[in-house]
Chain A
Amino acid sequence: MTTSTADAVIVERSWLRFWIPRLFLFALVVGLSAWIDLTDTMLGRALAPVLAVLARPGLARFDIAVVVGVLVIANVELVRLIPFRYQIGVVWAELLVLFLAFFYSFNLSFPFIFERIGFLITQGAVTTIYISMISIIVASALAMLAALARLSANGPAYAVATFYISFFRGTPLLLQVYMIYLGLPQLGLFLDAVPSGIIALSLCYGAYMAEIFRAGIQGVHKGQREAAVALGLKGSLVMRKIILPQAMRLVIPPIGNQFISMLKDSSLVSVMGVWELMYLARTEGRAEFRIMEMLITAAIIYWIISFAFELVQAQIERHLGKGVKP
Chain B
Amino acid sequence: MKRLFGLFAIVALAAGTFGASAAQAGKVLDRVLANKTLVVATDANYPPQSFLDKNNKLDGFDVDVAKEVAKRLGVKTRFVTPDWEIIVAGNWGKRWDISIGSMTPTKQRARVLDFPGIYYFTPAVFAVHKDNTSIKSVADLNGKVIGVCGGCTYEWYLKKNLVIDAEGAPPFKYQVTAGKIRSYPDDSAPFQDLRLGDGVRLDAVLSAMPNIQAAIKNGYPMRIINPPVFYEPLSVAIDKGDPEFGARLGAIIKAMHADGTLTKLSMKWYGVDLTTAKPASS
- Chain A residues within CB distance 8 Å of chain B: 115-116, 119, 123, 181-182, 185-186, 188-193, 195, 199, 270-273, 275, 279-280, 282-284, 286-291
Least Cβ–Cβ distance between B20 and chain A, in angstroms = 5
Closest to A195 in B: B18
Query: CB-nearest residue of chain A relative to B84?
Result: A271
Tell me, in angstroms, the Cα distance from A182 to B81 when the chains sit together. Answer: 15
What residues of chain A lie closer than 8 Å to B82, measured between beta carbons? 193, 271-273
Query: Once the chains are docked, how many angstroms separate the CA of A132 from the CA of B75?
Result: 35
Given A185-B91, A275-B81; A283-B54 close (CB under 8 Å): no
Which partner residue on chain A sits nearest B7 by CB separation? A145
CA of A286 to CA of B72 in the docked complex: distance in angstroms? 31
Task: Say whether B45 contacts A288, CB under 8 Å.
Answer: no
**Shortest distance from the beta carbon of B109 to any chain A beta carbon, whole Å:** 16
Chain A residues near B191: list those with CB within 8 A.
289
Residues of B within 8 A of A182 (CB): 86, 89, 91
A56 and B196 CA atoms in complex are apart in Å by: 32
| B192 pairs with A271, CB closer than 8 A | no
Do the beta carbons of B86 and A283 come within 8 Å of each other? no
Residues of A with C-beta under 8 A to B47: 286-289
| CB-defined contacts of A119 to chain B, threshold 8 Å | 56
Interface size range of chain B in the complex: 35 or more
Residue from A193, A284, A286 in contact with B56 in the complex, judged by beta carbons closer than 8 Å: A284
Contact, CB under 8 Å: A190 / B86: no
Which residues on the A side are within 8 Å of B81 (C-beta)?
A: 273, 275, 279, 283
* Nearest CB of B to A214, in Å: 20
The smallest C-beta distance from B34 to any residue of chain A, in angstroms, reads 18
Task: Name 5 extra pairs, CB < 8 A, besides A287-B44, A288-B47.
Answer: A119-B56, A181-B86, A186-B91, A272-B86, A289-B191
A-B contact pairs, 9 of them (CB 8 A): A116-B56, A181-B86, A182-B91, A188-B23, A189-B20, A190-B22, A283-B51, A289-B191, A291-B192
Pick from B41, B52, B214: contact of A283, CB under 8 Å? B52
Among A273, A275, A284, residue most surrounded by chain B Cβ atoms (within 10 Å):
A273
Q: Is the interface of A mostly helix, strand, loop or mixed?
A: helix
Q: How far is the CA of A200 from the CA of B150 in the complex (A)?
A: 25
Complex Cα distance A181/B85, Å? 12
Chain B neighbourhood of A195, CB < 8 A: 18-19
* Chain A residues, Cβ within 8 Å of B83: 270-273
Assembled-state Cα–Cα distance A185/B95 (Å): 11
- Determine chain B's interface SS by DSSP, over half rule: loop
Task: Name the residue in A188, A193, A287 with the highest tally of chain B Cβ atoms < 10 Å from its Cβ.
Answer: A287
* A48-B41 Cα distance, complex, nearest whole Å: 57
Task: Determine how close the nearest CB of chain B comes to the CB of A123; give it in whole angstroms.
Answer: 7
**Which residues on B sit within 8 Å (CB–CB) of A288?**
47, 218
Closest residue of B by beta carbon distance from A187:
B23
Chain A residues near B167 (CB-CB < 8 A): none
Evaluate contact between B45 and A286: CB separation under 8 angstroms: yes
Q: How far is the CA of A271 from the CA of B80 in the complex (A)?
A: 12
Q: Give Cα distance in the complex from A191 to B243, angstroms.
A: 25
* Chain B hits for A279, CB < 8 A: 81
The residues in B between 58 and 104 inclusive whose CB is less than 8 angstroms from any CB of A are 80-83, 85-86, 89, 91, 93-95
Residues on B with C-beta less than 8 A from A290 are: 218
Within 8 Å CB of A286, what residues of B? 45-47, 51, 188
In the complex, whether B21 has a CB less than 8 A from a CB of chain A is yes
Docked-complex contact B20 and A191, CB < 8 angstroms: yes
Contact (Cβ within 8 A) B20 A190: yes
**Interface bits B188-227 vs A (CB < 8 Å: 1, else 0):** 1001100000000000000000000011001110000000
Decide if A185 touches B86 in the complex (CB within 8 Å). Answer: no
The verdict on B53 contacting chain A, using a C-beta distance below 8 Å, is yes
Contact flag A287-B52 (CB < 8 Å), given A191-B20, A273-B83:
yes
Chain B residues positioned under 8 Å from A270 (CB to CB):
83
Q: Quick one: closest B residue to A182, CB to CB?
A: B89
B12-66 interface (Cβ within 8 A of A): 18-23, 41, 44-47, 51-54, 56
With both chains docked as a complex, state the minimum distance between the C-beta of B187 and any C-beta of chain A, in angstroms.
9
Is the Cβ of B19 less than 8 Å from the Cβ of A192? yes
A115: B residues at CB distance < 8 A: 54
Is the beta-carbon distance between B93 and A190 smaller than 8 angstroms? yes
- The residue on B at minimum CB distance from A189 is B20
Chain B residue contacts of A191, Cβ below 8 A: 18, 20
Q: Is the CB of B45 within 8 A of A282?
A: yes
Contacts of B46 in A (CB 8 A): 286
Q: Are A289 and B18 in contact (CB under 8 A)?
A: no
* Chain A residue with Cβ nearest B195: A289
